[in-house]
Structure 1
Amino acid sequence: MSIKESSTNNENKKTLEQCCSEIYAVNLISGRWILSICYHLKHGKLRFYELKNSIPNISERMLTLQLKKMEQENLIIKSVYAEVPLRVEYELSEIGKRLIPILNQLEIWGKEHKNAKKNNNEPS
């Protein structure tokens, strides 16, 4: 679902992104799939079907759309090799690679939060 360019919601998003770099960054990598794609690419180059097979439940169409968006935002580099069959590889760009320590920290924080939530919800 896309947001209308003239909507109040879109204007609020733009204003927040302009005044707060953290919100800009979160909006850039938010969503169900982008962080997962980054996570799998942090280990190196992958072809389309390698990515597809490593991310459960993502459709080909959604993966294609997300990769295009990530390429437009300079998070990844798409390399096309003139071979038969055609070979296409995706990798994190230099700015995309700078997300790796953040991903690692998010993973640690996520585990800690899950454990804390689990421990707080156990009956006494």
Structure 2
Amino acid sequence: MRSSMHTKLECPIMATIAMISDKWKVVIICKLKGGTMRFNELMRALKGVTQKVLTHQLRELEADGLVARKIYAEVPPRVEYSLTPLGETLVPVLNDLEAWARDHADEIIAARNAHQEAVASK
């Protein structure tokens, strides 16, 4: 999936969705929109994520330019994560997507239920 960014020329929406579609990425971005967080703060905020998965997701978000990682020369080492200016431009888009989902949740649930009933009655 990571190598498919060439699809941006074909479909920028698909390229963007591919970039943020892993299970935890949108949640990480939403947590970081509240401000800078340390790794362990993110671990606590994201119930159910493993350290390995969170590390991988943060590295990919960093590689895509959406998240910045700052290391402090302290003992013990302190690492903080924050949204980059590019990452911050994604926040209003995600807010709009969330609003759309809330506005249409009942319609989506009704459509799914109707579909299940139609399939079950065949």
Give the one of 92, 96, 111 matched to 1:105: 96
Aligned residue pair count = 114
Cα offset for 1:26? 1.2
Structure 1 letter corresponding to 2:91:
I
Question: Which of residues 22, 28, 43 in structure 2 aligns to 1:52?
Answer: 43
| Residue identity in the other structure for 1:22 | I
TM-score (norm 2): 0.81
What is the distance in 2 between the residues matched to 1:94 and 1:58?
26
- CA shift, 1:29, in A, is 1.1
Cα–Cα, structure 1 residues 63 and 116, in superposed 2: closer, same or farther, change >3 Å?
Answer: same
- 1:18 aligns to 2:9 (yes or no): yes
In the alignment, the residues of structure 2 paired with residue 38 and residue 117 of structure 1 have an alpha-carbon distance, to the nearest angstrom, of 25
State the identity as a percent. Answer: 34
How far off is 1:51 after superposition?
A: 0.6
Counterpart of 1:61 in structure 2 is 52
Task: Compute the RMSD of aligned alpha carbons.
Answer: 2.3
**SS in structure 2 of the partner of residue 98 of structure 1:** helix
Partners of 1:63 and 1:44 in 2: CA distance: 17
Distance 1:118 1:92 in 2: 33
Residue 79 of structure 1 pairs with residue 79 of structure 2 = no
